Structure 1
Amino acid sequence: MHALLILDMQVGLVHGLDKPWRGEALLQTLNSLMDKARSAGAPIFLARHIGPVGSPIEPGSPLTMIVQELKLQGGEVVFEKRRPNAFAMTDLADNLRAHGATGVVITGMKTQYCVDSTCRAARDLGFDAVLIADGHSCSDTPVMKAQDIVAHHNATLDGPFCRLVRAEEWRF
């Protein structure tokens, strides 16, 4: 069984100054994936990235809260992380195994940080890693447009680090 993992869909990243590319479409995709996961009885995990005390994303900051556009129903596991890799210094791997998950479907933000590092780590930890091609995003950087960052990571990660699947084609 695969669990759904949604990374850092929090107020400060989704509604901050640098809006994510295709942000509204991403929210719709994630809500659809959560519906599919619930229908299949697959667990849903949501990560919130927090920073040190005194930072804008310190523990308890409203900027770290999951955006209200995601339709949570109370059965999801929400956890905090402090590193880009959602497995680092968290109990995510143990929690996935405790829920019977042998695979993890990776979505959320930001493509070049948390999505990338979590994809790379998942397979190393023995999970079948699936990246939803249209289920992650980021914002433009001074060097590259977000659309190109997403395309680059989809191409780079597919194969060595994960299986790339479009949201409409994924079945839990």
Structure 2
Amino acid sequence: MPSSPAQRPALLIVDMQVGLFHGPEQPFEGQRVLDNINQLIHRARQAGAPVIAVRHTGPQGSPIAAGSPSWQLLAQLQLTDADHRIDKSRPNCFVGTGLAEHLKARQIDELVIVGMKTQYCIDSTCRAAMDLGFAAVLAEDAHTCMDTPSLPAQAIIDHHNATLNGAFARCLKTAEIGF
């Protein structure tokens, strides 16, 4: 039986923006998550895998409106001018962004997904990736969110790692992810 072709991965960094990361509510273990994302950027770059950074754009007047200081990607992300950047206005990174077409044009069929916020953009992007035929790897220790009135961030992250693993993504620790 012929083996399936090797996956062609890309790193997808979701919403690691000044206003979300350094806002009034701090992300759970934010520095550890940022460090893990930078490790994955370095590993992707060494392997020649594309790095794509997505940022959420709020409506005019919102804290993360286009062009505002809070809308900017974190300066601590080790991105270069060669890395692709996409702006979105919905939780799902694919809606209205051309991301799927960008990936298909480059024959990318696997996404390593990292960033913020677990229960919104990370969740919806993992689910959409599978629906669109992309294999998704969720770096289980490289996505985060904030505590909510109902649940602490750690519980939200643990729940999403368990829920998404298998049906929508393959959950792996940063140290286990290769490109």
TM-score with structure 1 setting the length = 0.98
**Equivalent residue, structure 2, for 1:52:** 59
**Where has structure 1 moved over 6 Å in runs of 4 or more?**
none
- 1:154 deviates by 0.1
Once residues 63 and 112 of structure 1 are traced to their aligned partners in structure 2, the CA distance between those partners, rounded to angstroms, is 21
| 1:94 equivalent among 80, 91, 101 | 101
Match status 1:71 vs 2:78? yes
Q: Secondary structure at the match of 1:156?
A: helix
Q: Deviations over 1:118-161 (max 9, x none)?
A: 00000100001110110100010010000110000000000111
Once residues 69 and 54 of structure 1 are traced to their aligned partners in structure 2, the CA distance between those partners, rounded to angstroms, is 25
Percent same amino acid among aligned pairs?
52
Q: Secondary structure at the match of 2:171?
A: strand
| 1:133 equivalent among 140, 143, 150 | 140
Q: Secondary structure at the match of 1:17?
A: coil
User: After the TM superposition, which of the residue ranges 27-36 and 65-74 deviates more from structure 2?
Assistant: 65-74
Q: Deviations over 1:48-72 (max 9, x none)?
A: 1011112221111111100111111
Once residues 63 and 30 of structure 2 are traced to their aligned partners in structure 1, the CA distance between those partners, rounded to angstroms, is 21
**RMSD between aligned residues:** 0.7
Once residues 119 and 26 of structure 2 are traced to their aligned partners in structure 1, the CA distance between those partners, rounded to angstroms, is 15
Aligned length: 172
* Structure 2 residue identity aligned to 1:158: N
Q: Secondary structure at the match of 2:86?
A: strand
* Structure 2 residue identity aligned to 1:76: D
**Equivalent residue, structure 1, for 2:3:** none
Once residues 68 and 76 of structure 1 are traced to their aligned partners in structure 2, the CA distance between those partners, rounded to angstroms, is 14
Match status 1:43 vs 2:50? yes
- 1:16 deviates by 0.5
Aligned 8 A contact 1:43 1:99 in 2: no
- 1:27 deviates by 0.8
Once residues 79 and 11 of structure 2 are traced to their aligned partners in structure 1, the CA distance between those partners, rounded to angstroms, is 13
**Equivalent residue, structure 1, for 2:122:** 115
* Structure 1 residue identity aligned to 2:49: A
- 1:75 deviates by 1.2
Q: Deviations over 1:98-128 (max 9, x none)?
A: 2221111110000000000000000100001
* Structure 2 residue identity aligned to 1:46: A
- What 5-or-longer segments of structure 2 have no aligned partner? 1-7
User: After the TM superposition, which of the residue ranges 111-120 and 96-105 deviates more from structure 2?
Assistant: 96-105
* Structure 2 residue identity aligned to 1:56: P
